[in-house]
A = this chain, B = another copy of it.
Amino acid sequence: MRKTPASRKAAARQQVFDALGTLKIEIPSWGFADTGTRFGKFYQDAAAIDLADKLADAGQVHRLTGCCPTVAVHVLWDFKPGEDPAAVAALAARNGVKIGSINPNLFQDQIYKHGSFANPDPAVRKAALAHTLHSVELGKKTGSRLLSLWLADGINYPGQDNIAARKERVAECLAAVHRKLGPDQLLLLEYKPFEPAFYATDVADWGMSCIHCKKAGKKARVLVDTGHHYTAQNIEQIVAWLLSENMLGGFHFNDRRYADDDLTLGSLDPYQVFRIFNEIHQHAHDNGGRPADIAYMIDQSHNDKPKVEATLQTVANAQELWAKAALVDRDALAHHQKNTAQIDAEELLKTAFFTDVRPLIADWRRANKLPPDPLAAHRASGYEQAAAKDRAARRKALGITQTAGGYA
């Protein structure tokens, strides 16, 4: 029976509503702080000073979008030594959010000059492992399920270290971390081809992360940062492979053109993000409708945009592209694929991609008692002006100067 335009429209509406209902996006605490490039930072009055500010900002985002219930935290930047994790969890709760993935910091301390888990010096590896195991404990105490691990390890010059030996050292540390994971905890291992190391990174690509995770144990999964690929690499294919191997743990979303540019998700190549989402919807479709267990996290550097605005824009982009990907007619697609009807298959994707879902998303928001345009609502709320005023005053009181640390 052919569908009428009205029934098609109602079906699309339902698909969008269903899709949006399943998408939870984790916001990084560091997305609300001043960040920059090696050439310096451009400071904002409203940038968060401490974890309380960050959780307040995250709360504002969740209040307006309804889909960002958790906040990724960076242990070094967000937890004070000796602080009670339960108090942190409570602080989050007061802001309407929860502590999400725990990110150990294995790159900032001076001891990590030549690496953390891969360091030739056993004392440094021991310290790195202790910090990571402490992060596992923080996860247990804050109710966070995910340990999100980025190793900045690598070497800058040929010959600097033995690549196979470094691999072995990393494997040993990961195994040690895995042994301490709680029954529900997952270890997510990020990969990155370069920066801050420029000759060889110890976990450089998805294949390396995947091999490490399979060896570490059943609770280890690959973390895909969309900005951590070689130029021209097909990310959606990697996603499809990891899904088929049951090794995809989550994403760090952002956009890029050259390096790890950490730009707003979908700002440069929205069709690629759509295709990534399309693979995820396809995988669920091919597996009886059961969505894979994936953590959708943002990792961007809002160098010059207002932080909360940039986060709201990102979330809106993610929702739009996720909803569009949900609209792909999968039965028709399977039919065209069987017949290698390339143009028809392509057009199905394009039709979904270019469907204007913004009105439907606004409807969904209204149905969920959310503002139909979160960015406009945020601007109308006066939140940023108030934060800027408060935080500027507190910086002054605390003696914090936002002076640009020079490059040299």
Task: Report A's interface with B, CB cutoff 8 A.
Answer: 30, 33-40, 42-43, 74, 76-77, 107-110, 113-114, 120-121, 152, 156-165, 167-168, 193-196, 198-200, 204-208, 210-211, 230-234, 236-237, 240-241, 243-245, 256-259, 261, 263-264, 267-272, 275, 278-279, 282-283, 286, 303-306, 309-310, 313, 320, 333-334, 336-338, 340, 342-343, 345-350, 353-356, 358, 375, 404-408
Q: Nearest chain B CB to A249's CB is how many angstroms away?
A: 16
A158-B256 contact given A37-B195, A234-B200, A406-B77, CB 8 Å threshold? no
Complex copy number for this chain: 4
Inter-subunit contact A39/B157 (CB<8 Å) = no
Complex A-B: 30 CB contacts under 8 Å: A30-B408, A38-B196, A39-B108, A110-B404, A156-B303, A157-B263, A157-B345, A158-B349, A159-B278, A159-B333, A159-B349, A160-B346, A162-B286, A163-B279, A168-B244, A194-B258, A198-B261, A204-B237, A207-B211, A230-B231, A230-B232, A231-B231, A234-B257, A269-B271, A270-B350, A305-B342, A305-B343, A313-B343, A354-B358, A405-B405
Cα distance A157–B345 in the bound complex, in angstroms: 9
Partner of A258, one of B42, B232, B309: B232
Inter-subunit contact B257/A232 (CB<8 Å) = yes
Chain B positions within 8 Å of A349 at CB level:
158-159
Select from chain B the residue with minimum beta-carbon distance to A255.
Answer: B198
Select from chain B the residue with minimum beta-carbon distance to A328.
Answer: B159
A162-B356 contact given A77-B406, A232-B231, A241-B167, CB 8 Å threshold? no
Partner of A200, one of B165, B237, B243: B237
Q: Which of A30, A76, A305 has the most CB of B within 10 A?
A: A305
Cα distance A120–B313 in the bound complex, in angstroms: 24
